Each structure stands twice: as structure tokens, then as C-alpha cells.
């Protein structure tokens, strides 16, 4: 069975003290994880080691960086390499978030390079894809997302993609309060799985966890996660409210 995942993306929010208080509050609230369920915290770079230590010993709970460089090492001031993340035992890296694509002009080729370095260093990518509002209104979202997948992932082998994590984030629903309907979410998640099945076969496609990211909240998570091809969520604002994120975790299938 593929993994069901509640992934928090704190983005550029919270001081270290606030982050520690949030984790303490969250872990004072009862939630349970089955063997095929995971919780992932995507935290700012300065807090990775501290959060790793704070979460040590918790089963099925992991830490993610929010990005990494597409360069292995060198004179790239301010960048963070996959090797650096490996050295502090980071488990996951969020790759290709829509904000990185939009604000930092990250290309499909660049994202492919980041994924290669993550896999080379034993770090699991969470690959983000999704369409802006204009594409959705034009009805071309399926081909748009297919291009994102083919140009950044299709150089990988079936073995590398087995158990992979993809996050579908309709850009028009991120931080806007708008959410794709359950039907829209399921339709795109099924489309993504069919793209992967056509290229790599049904077994590989069936092993890939596809998360929904776009205004997931405590009051809609259960319905969204209940869709057959939705395997959890990549959660922004609601992941920084302990009570809400606990509800979201408990909404996993």
C-alpha cells in the first residue's frame, strides 16, 4: 500500500521558539499513525537540525527541507546542497514548489537536476506540480501538468520512482482560501497517476503517493483525502495551527 502523508510546509514563517512551541503543542494532542502513514515537517533551513532532534524517536515522523540547490557544491553563496542536507540526516526535500517556480524562475531542467542530487544523496524528493488560474480557466491544466512531469521526472528509472512522492498544487488555490473541489482534486490526481502508469507501468504508478496542496484545512481534509487517488496533503497555513494540523493528520486514510 502506498504511503498516506500529511506534510507541513511552514514556508518563511515562525521563529525557532515559535516552531518548538508549535511542535510541543501538536504532540500534546492525540493523533495516531498507522504503519503506512507519515507526517513530514517542511521547516526553514536554520531549524532543520533542531527540529530533527526534537522529533527524534517518533515513529513515521520526518523532517523536510523546503528546497535545495541544483549544484553539487561550489561558489554559490547562500545556497544549500543536497550533500549538506544529507549530513544532518534530512529525510525529504520539497522540490519545485510553485513559489520557487514563480519567484525564482526554477525551470523543469533545474528541478530535474535537484531531484538527481537528492536521490544521489539518499533524500526523498516531494515533487510539486500544478497549474495557475489562467491555465485552469483555459481548460489546458492536464497538458500543463503533464509537461511538468515529463520534463522533470521522465529521465528517472522505474526503481527510482517506486514509492516516489508528488504534490499536486493548483496555484490558484494556494493561500487564496479557494480549494479545488473534491472532484477536481480527484480528476487531476487520477490524471497524474495515469501519466506515470503510461510511462512506467501500473505497479510503479500505484506506489506513488500523490498529495493535494491548496488550502487544505481541518474542515475539508477528510473529504479531500477520501478521494481514491489523493494520498494526503501538502499543508501550508493550517500546519502552523497545532489543533488544525492534528485534525488533518487524523484525516489520513
pLDDT of residue 102: 94
Residue 248 confidence (pLDDT) above 90: yes
- pLDDT tens across 7-23, in order? 999 999 999 999 999 99
pLDDT tier at 31, thresholds 50, 70, 90: confident
pLDDT of residue 101: 96
Residue 41 confidence (pLDDT) above 80: yes
Catalytic residue among 97, 121, 189, 191: 97
Helix runs in 10-97, H state only: 16-26, 48-55, 82-87
Catalytic residue among 121, 169, 189, 191: 169
Kindly state the DSSP code that residue 132 receives in the 8-state scheme. Answer: -
pLDDT of residue 58: 93
CA 116 from centre of chain: 17
Residue 215 confidence (pLDDT) above 90: no
Q: Is 97 a catalytic residue?
A: yes
pLDDT of residue 80: 98
Identify the three-state secondary structure at position 126: strand
| Domain limits, the chain | 4-250
Average pLDDT for 108-124: 98
- pLDDT tens across 160-214, in order? 999 999 999 999 887 777 778 999 999 999 999 999 999 999 999 999 999 999 8
pLDDT tier at 30, thresholds 50, 70, 90: confident
Residue 64 makes CB contacts below 8 A (sequence gap 6+) with 7, 40, 41, 42, 43, 90, 91, 92, 93, 94, 126
- 4-250 is classed CATH 3.40.50.1100: no
Average pLDDT, the chain: 96
Q: Which residue has the higher pLDDT, 174 or 77?
A: 77
Average pLDDT for 57-67: 96
CA dist 78 and 10 (Å) reads: 20
H-helix or E-strand containing 81?
none
Amino acid at each position: 500500500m502506498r504511503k498516506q502523508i500529511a506534510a507541513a510546509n511552514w514556508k518563511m514563517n515562525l521563529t525557532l521558539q515559535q516552531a518548538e512551541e508549535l511542535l510541543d503543542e501538536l504532540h500534546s494532542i492525540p493523533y495516531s499513525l498507522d504503519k503506512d502513514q507519515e507526517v513530514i515537517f517542511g521547516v526553514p533551513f536554520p531549524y532543520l537540525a533542531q527540529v530533527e532532534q526534537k522529533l527524534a524517536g517518533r515513529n513515521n515522523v520526518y523532517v523536510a527541507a523546503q528546497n535545495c540547490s541544483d549544484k553539487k557544491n561550489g561558489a554559490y553563496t547562500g545556497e544549500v546542497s543536497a550533500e549538506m542536507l544529507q549530513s544532518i540526516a534530512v529525510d525529504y526535500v520539497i522540490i519545485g514548489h510553485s513559489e520557487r517556480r514563480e519567484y525564482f524562475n526554477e525551470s523543469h531542467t533545474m528541478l530535474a537536476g535537484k531531484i538527481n542530487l537528492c536521490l544521489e544523496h539518499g533524500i526523498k524528493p516531494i515533487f510539486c506540480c500544478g497549474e495557475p488560474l489562467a491555465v485552469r480557466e483555459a481548460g489546458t491544466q492536464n497538458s500543463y501538468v503533464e509537461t511538468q512531469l515529463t520534463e522533470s521526472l521522465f529521465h528517472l528509472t522505474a526503481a527510482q520512482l517506486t514509492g516516489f512522492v508528488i504534490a499536486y498544487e493548483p496555484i490558484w488555490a494556494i493561500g487564496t482560501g479557494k480549494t479545488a473541489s473534491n472532484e477536481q482534486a480527484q480528476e487531476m490526481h487520477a490524471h497524474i497517476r495515469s501519466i506515470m502508469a503510461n510511462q512506467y507501468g501500473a505497479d510503479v504508478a500505484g506506489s506513488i503517493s500523490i498529495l493535494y496542496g491548496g488550502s487544505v484545512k481541518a474542515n475539508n481534509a477528510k473529504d479531500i483525502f477520501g478521494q481514491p487517488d489523493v494520498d494526503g496533503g501538502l499543508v501550508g497555513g493550517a500546519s502552523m495551527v497545532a489543533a488544525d494540523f492534528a485534525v488533518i493528520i487524523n484525516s489520513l486514510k
